[in-house]
Amino acid sequence: MKFNVATLLSAASLLAGSAMADSYPWERLEKDNSVLVILDLQEGLYQLARDWDATLYKQSMMAHASLATVFDIPVIMSTSAETGPNGPLPHEILTLYPPTTPLIKRQGEVNAWDNPSFASAIRATNRTQIILAGIVTDVCTAFLARSLRAEGYSVWANLEASGTTTKEIREITNDALIRSGVNVVSLFAIVCDLMRDWRNTPGAKELIPWLDRYLPAYGMVARAHKAAVEGGEVQPGEDFLDE
């Protein structure tokens, strides 16, 4: 029987850290205490995000970057050596927010927390919950997430919007982050925790169009319901489905 070494290591690390991970109390995201970090989602680095389908990953990047447009939370963007092969942030991300939005252009620091301007921008928000994603998962996302945890911040790492070179590296990295108390979660989990109740503002009125654009699987649920209400009819056999 053959085993994939990386998969075995991932499983072993997950089992070893399960008790530690469970020792962190569940904390809910608060939109009045959250900050969105757009970290190194750069055009050059995008090519290293090979653990996801390329089209799906671009959608996930844009969804992460646009979270603050619907929840009105502070945004901090940062790039790493963007005048070199890493490239800039995509124009579509830069134009989501006003020119006054903090954009920390790191010239050498691998870990964003090592850049004084970035650390100051985080502290200046006076918020303690950080939502982040970056390329690559095992360096940009992981280094910053661990540094923020060491400084006492709570961290939500958007699983779908961070990318790296292999699925095995992604799995091992996320296992390690979970053990350090980082919340590794999906985009939909972030959205639902920030919203809390479909009757809130932002709620269904604001989120359903946003989800239709950035999470079409849920958008199609809403579209199907709308179509059924406006022009649908029960098909033969469907009238027995609830019996």
**Residue whose C-alpha is closest to residue 79's, from 107, 99, 100:** 107
Q: Alpha helices, DSSP H only, in the chain?
A: 5-22, 54-65, 67-71, 91-94, 116-124, 142-150, 167-179, 187-195, 204-214, 216-231
Q: Which of 140, 142, 144, 195 is catalytic?
A: 140
Q: CA 49: distance to chain centroid?
A: 14
Active site residue 192: no
C-alpha angle 27-197-204 in degrees, rounded to nearest 5: 135
Categorise residue 196: left if φ over 0, alpha if ψ from -120 to 50, beta otherwise.
left
Structure tokens given for 135: 């390329």
Q: Which residues are catalytic?
A: 140
